[in-house]
């Protein structure tokens, strides 16, 4: 950690603590949430205190609740879980309110400086985009719980949790206002919506790695110490830092829960459901789990920082449609196998098996001839978690084809630059130029321009494979890199006796 980063970390912590002591200088109002837990009936009891400042009152308070959460490309209509909305003034008198569409509430506030809004959220789903509360734990997915003032995402907000007295821990990427406190302040709602919480008596381990504090919040830690997960995670972090040349957070929280579905990346955390144990039945399943963890971690860079222009700023009221999710998700899948291999966690054979799994999930199916990779990105809002029987016959999934195109692109860049550059240089360029310098997302044309600049010429054929349903001549890329496709099981394998050029490729890609 450089001295500059150290100073930045200290200033950030001091700022959060200063804000947490009630000094919220932004805006003409204050927003404070209090959340109680009904562990028996699975409800979150939410109370919002809205206080206008400066002695002037607005006629109407308009509140919005998101209908989706970043990283989960599906309209989830979170307000469907809300009930018992009510509004009162400081004296307890009811305030008039009405719904305006599915996710907007209008509260008449002209006669009061302070309003209290209450509602309940039913929380009983085990997926990473939904909240859950029961007798042993609570997982809070903030986008489906908290409302923001219409059009004012950038306003700060504080949240306090009222926990059962027997519960000890609140784990999140946000820092508490006071040590062991139950109150957290976010600088804006983008930050709050991107900071899930795990409440309960779960396993907590705090440690420092390369100058940054980390927290493990594990709901079902069975076997975690035996497999050496902490050491593997540190190696993943170190390898990713070496690849990208920077760490985009001050602190990081890894939230792993028990049985349930999926994982989701966040601003400085990840929230994943596991199978409820770290005692994996095989080495293969162990490596796959580490790839899952690596995927969500690499998203810190690729989608949280390196993001298509359509994904920022976020509009929580409607879809954010982009043709570039194959970059955000597909290339992240590609870097699962690269990072695990470079970290020395996966063998070359295990790394290729990870990539082959994705290949086998699309290559044998006809959907690749009906929808392009680009189109799959654009249409994901129609097809996310699509379980139609004909799904693989008419569509292609960017999670599956994306990492294979990533491999071909990496090989093509290395070939065109005589191993002087690779896809790694593209990722670093996008991070440094668009995130760090320009502080915005990249457009589709900007992406291909940066790729061409790194490669020294346009990757015309690779772009054609992304934009069309043309058949792919895999051997024209793979053979030169010492790889080939085994069509018996649609796996990607190393050639048995690589020649000198193939060995150079395999060595450069750390696959020997």
Domain with 27 in it? 3-200
CB 353 within 8 A of CB 303: no
Q: Has residue 406 been placed in a domain?
A: yes
Last residue of a domain, one of 167, 200, 233: 200
- Report yes or no: 315 and 64 within 8 Å, Cβ to Cβ: no
Residue 436 sits in a domain whose CATH number is 1.10.390.10
Within a domain: residue 224?
no
163 and 294 part of one domain? no
Mean pLDDT by groups of 10 residues along the chain of 512 residues: 42 39 59 98 98 83 97 97 97 96 95 94 96 98 98 97 97 89 96 98 98 98 97 98 98 95 95 95 97 98 98 97 98 98 97 97 97 98 92 96 98 98 98 98 98 98 98 97 96 96 96 94
- Looking at residue 370, what is its pLDDT? 97
Order across the sheet with 183-186: list the strands: 82-89, 114-122, 43-52, 29-38, 157-162, 183-186
Residues 185 and 329 in one domain: no
Looking at the fold, whether 195 and 286 belong to one and the same domain comes out as no
CATH number of domain containing 43? 2.60.40.3650
227 belongs to a structural domain: no
For residue 26, the model assigns a pLDDT of: 53
Domain shared by 191 and 327, yes or no: no
Structural domain contains residue 492: yes
**Is the torsion defined by CA of 324, 330, 334, 335 positive or negative?**
positive
Contact between 150 and 105 (Cβ < 8 Å): no
Query: Which of 147, 180, 200 is the last residue before a domain boundary?
Result: 200
3-state secondary structure of 80: helix
Q: Answer whether 210's CB lies under 8 Å from 238's CB.
A: yes
320 and 410 within one domain: yes
Residue 241 lies in a domain: no
User: What backbone torsions phi and psi does residue 456 show, to the nearest 5 degrees?
Assistant: 85, 0
Predicted pLDDT of residue 184: 97
Regarding whether 308 and 191 lie in a shared domain, the answer is no
């Amino acid at each position: 950690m450089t001295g500059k980063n150290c100073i930045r970390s200290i200033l950030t912590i001091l700022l959060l603590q200063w804000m947490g002591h009630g000094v919220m200088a932004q805006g003409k109002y204050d927003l404070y949430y209090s959340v109680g837990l009904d562990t028996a009936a699975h409800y979150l009891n939410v109370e919002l205190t809205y206080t206008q400042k400066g002695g002037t009152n607005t006629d109407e308070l308009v509140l919005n609740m998101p209908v989706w959460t970043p990283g989960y490309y599906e309209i989830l209509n979170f307000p469907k879980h809300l009930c018992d909305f009510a509004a009162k003034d400081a004296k307890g008198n009811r305030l008039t309110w009405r719904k305006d569409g599915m996710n907007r509430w209008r509260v008449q506030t002209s006669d009061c400086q302070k309003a209290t809004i209450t509602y309940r959220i039913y929380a009983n789903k085990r997926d990473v985009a939904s909240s859950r509360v029961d007798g042993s734990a609570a997982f809070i997915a903030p986008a489906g719980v908290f409302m923001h003032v219409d059009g004012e995402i950038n306003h700060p907000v504080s949240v306090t949790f009222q926990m059962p007295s027997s519960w000890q821990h609140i784990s999140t990427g946000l820092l508490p206002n006071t040590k062991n406190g139950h109150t957290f302040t976010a600088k804006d709602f983008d930050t709050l919506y991107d900071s899930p919480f795990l409440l309960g008596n779960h396993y907590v381990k705090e440690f420092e790695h390369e100058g940054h504090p980390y927290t493990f919040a594990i709901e079902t830690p069975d076997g975690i110490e035996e497999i050496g997960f902490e050491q593997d995670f540190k190696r993943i972090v170190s390898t990713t830092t070496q690849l990208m040349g920077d760490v985009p957070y001050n602190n990081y929280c890894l939230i792993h829960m028990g049985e349930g579905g999926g994982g989701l990346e966040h601003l400085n955390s990840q929230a994943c459901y596991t199978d409820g144990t770290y005692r994996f039945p095989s080495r293969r399943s162990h490596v796959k789990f580490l790839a899952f963890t690596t995927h969500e971690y690499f998203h810190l860079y690729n989608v949280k920082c390196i993001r298509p222009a359509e994904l920022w700023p976020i509009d929580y009221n409607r879809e954010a449609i982009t043709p570039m999710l194959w970059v955000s998700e597909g290339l992240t899948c590609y870097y699962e196998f690269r990072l695990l291999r470079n970290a020395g966690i996966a063998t070359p054979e295990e790394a290729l098996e990870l990539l082959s799994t994705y290949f086998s999930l699309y290559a044998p199916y006809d959907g690749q001839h009906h929808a392009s990779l680009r189109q799959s990105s654009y249409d994901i809002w129609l097809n996310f978690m699509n379980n139609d029987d004909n799904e693989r016959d008419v569509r292609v999934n960017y999670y599956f084809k994306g990492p294979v195109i990533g491999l071909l692109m990496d090989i093509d860049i290395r070939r065109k630059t005589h191993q002087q550059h690779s896809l790694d240089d593209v990722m670093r360029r996008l991070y440094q130029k668009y995130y760090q310098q320009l502080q915005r997302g990249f457009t589709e044309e900007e992406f291909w321009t940066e790729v061409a600049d790194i490669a020294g010429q346009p990757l015309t054929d690779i772009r054609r494979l992304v934009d069309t349903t043309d058949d792919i001549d895999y051997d024209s890329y793979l053979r030169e890199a010492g790889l080939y496709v085994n069509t018996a099981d649609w796996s990607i394998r190393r050639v048995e006796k690589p020649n000198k050029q193939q060995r150079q490729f395999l060595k450069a890609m750390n696959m020997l």
